[in-house]
Amino acid sequence: MELLTTNNVWMMICTALVFFMHLGFAFLEIGLTRQKNTLNILFKNIFIITVGLLLYALVGFNLMYPGEFNGFLGFAGFGLDSPLTADGALDLTYNEGYTYWTDFLFQGMFAATAATIVSGAVAERMKIGPFMIFTVIYVGLIYPIAGSWKWGGGFLQTLETPFYDFAGSTLVHSVGGWAAVVAVALLGSRIGKFKDGKPQAIPGHNIPLATAGVIILWLGWFGFNGGSVLSADPALTSLTLVTTCLAAAAGGVVASLVSTLKYKNLDLTMFLNGILGGLVGITAGADQMSPTDAIIIGAVAGVIIVFAVALIDKIKLDDPVGAIAVHLACGIWGTLAVGIFGALASGAQFVSQLIGVASYAGLCIVSSFLIIFILKKVVGIRVSEREELEGLDAHEHGMDAYPDFRLNEH
């Protein structure tokens, strides 16, 4: 019982840290976008975490962990129902690590992250109503079905060499990243982003806030990866936190260096996204890597960030916060890195990682396209030109985030 209590307390602390990440996402998004859309972004972030938790309680948890199922789709019923002992008492020994309730809450915090990734990519020009509908369907149904394929004991877990994703480089980050690509492609770029085919910088209004957001996210990753050990095992949790931090540091430093060499300026936003890229990259195998492996994985993620951002601009996709480069490109890299580095490195493991990446790409591209394309045709997904130019805060919320301090914006 003492061990259960220790493990459970650690898991609850990690749950709180993952919850705190939503503040980090909000700060990062508003910092990298314009003042006139601040309330809109904050509203979306609050909507995602509140509705996401309710949906996960109603259907998501039992879609993701359905028990015995066909490996692709299963459902254990609506709502939460903690296991009981033979005499009808609440079963506190749900497993060796934590209680049923802790399990639900920890996993529920992860569930909302996928839609948060999309929120940043579509910032400043997507109607809030269609975004909310997308969130309900994607968080309520698509994410938990995707999760069941691996974490729920589905077909990716039962491969001869099981697909491995420790804390969600693919199951969380790429699931959001693929949807972000589809949404941005269907939505189009912001007014003024491309001029004569060349990308134009649209500066964020508060880089200090964006910096605070990244530091909060890094702190939250202690819970994101540390909690994914699913116990308070001293050796494994310590190693996981070390590899997580080293990858983040390497990602930031290398992204900054490569960006400086490429663009001849010290770009803080590239530094910040490099840190996030390193964190996303290590997430799939944080418990399997040596410190040296972690630094290499983070460093490669830092390089990927710089060139992925340039590629996204080149193909005329407009991602205001770099969500696609961070969560999709580095999520794919981190997932494949499990087959190259660390305790699981092998040809067979690499093939399984490829199968996993391809499986989630197929599910997420098809499902997000169907949801967003139908919304586009039925209700429209983009605000009017006037609304975009004047700001979503005024038109969709009737309020100003900074009523006593207005900046001149174009």
pLDDT reading at 31 higher than 60? yes
- The percent of residues above 70 in pLDDT, for the chain, comes to 95
pLDDT on residue 85: 66
Between 404 and 254, the higher pLDDT residue: 254
pLDDT on residue 3: 67
Q: Mean pLDDT over residues 252-266, rounded?
A: 96
pLDDT on residue 50: 96
pLDDT band at residue 180 using 50, 70 and 90 as cut-offs: very high
Between 383 and 1, the higher pLDDT residue: 383
Q: Mean pLDDT over residues 266-279, rounded?
A: 97
Q: Mean pLDDT over residues 65-69, rounded?
A: 92
pLDDT on residue 334: 98
pLDDT on residue 349: 98
Contact 116, 175 (CB under 8 A): no
Give the pair of three-digit tokens for residue 326: 């961070």
pLDDT on residue 353: 98
In whole angstroms, give the CA distance from residue 103 to residue 227.
Answer: 10
Lowest-confidence range among 26-35, 196-205, 212-221? 196-205
Chain centroid to CA 265: how far? 28
In whole angstroms, give the CA distance from residue 175 to residue 153.
Answer: 18
Lowest-confidence range among 28-42, 75-89, 134-148, 240-254? 75-89
Burial 290-317 (b: 16+ CB within 10 A, else e): eeebbbbbbbbbbbbbbebbeebbeeeb
In whole angstroms, give the CA distance from residue 53 to residue 293.
Answer: 35
Start-to-end C-alpha separation, the chain? 61
Give the pair of three-digit tokens for residue 196: 């004569």
Contact 100, 350 (CB under 8 A): no
What's the whole-number average pLDDT of the chain? 93
- Distance set, CA 226 to CA 14, 193, 229, 288 (Å): 7, 39, 6, 13
For 274-329, the pLDDT digits (tens) are 999 999 999 999 999 999 999 999 999 999 999 999 999 999 999 999 999 999 99
pLDDT band at residue 4 using 50, 70 and 90 as cut-offs: confident
Contact 309, 270 (CB under 8 A): yes
pLDDT on residue 84: 67
Amino acid at site 362: G
pLDDT on residue 197: 84
For 205-228, the pLDDT digits (tens) are 999 999 999 999 999 999 999 999
pLDDT reading at 152 higher than 60? yes
In whole angstroms, give the CA distance from residue 120 to residue 324.
Answer: 9
- The percent of residues above 90 in pLDDT, for the chain, comes to 88
Please name the helix (run of DSSP H) or strand (run of DSSP E) that holds residue 332, with its range, or none: helix 330-337
In whole angstroms, give the CA distance from residue 298 to residue 218.
Answer: 13
Please give, one letter per residue, the 3-state secondary structure of 356-408: HHHHHHHHHHHHHHHHHHHHHHHCCCECCHHHHHHCHHHHHHCCCCCCCCCCC
pLDDT band at residue 82 using 50, 70 and 90 as cut-offs: confident
**Domains in the chain and their CATH numbers?**
2-397 (1.10.3430.10)
For 341-375, the pLDDT digits (tens) are 999 999 999 999 999 999 999 999 999 999 999 99
For 92-129, the pLDDT digits (tens) are 667 767 888 999 999 999 998 888 999 999 999 999 99
pLDDT reading at 88 higher than 70? no
pLDDT on residue 98: 85
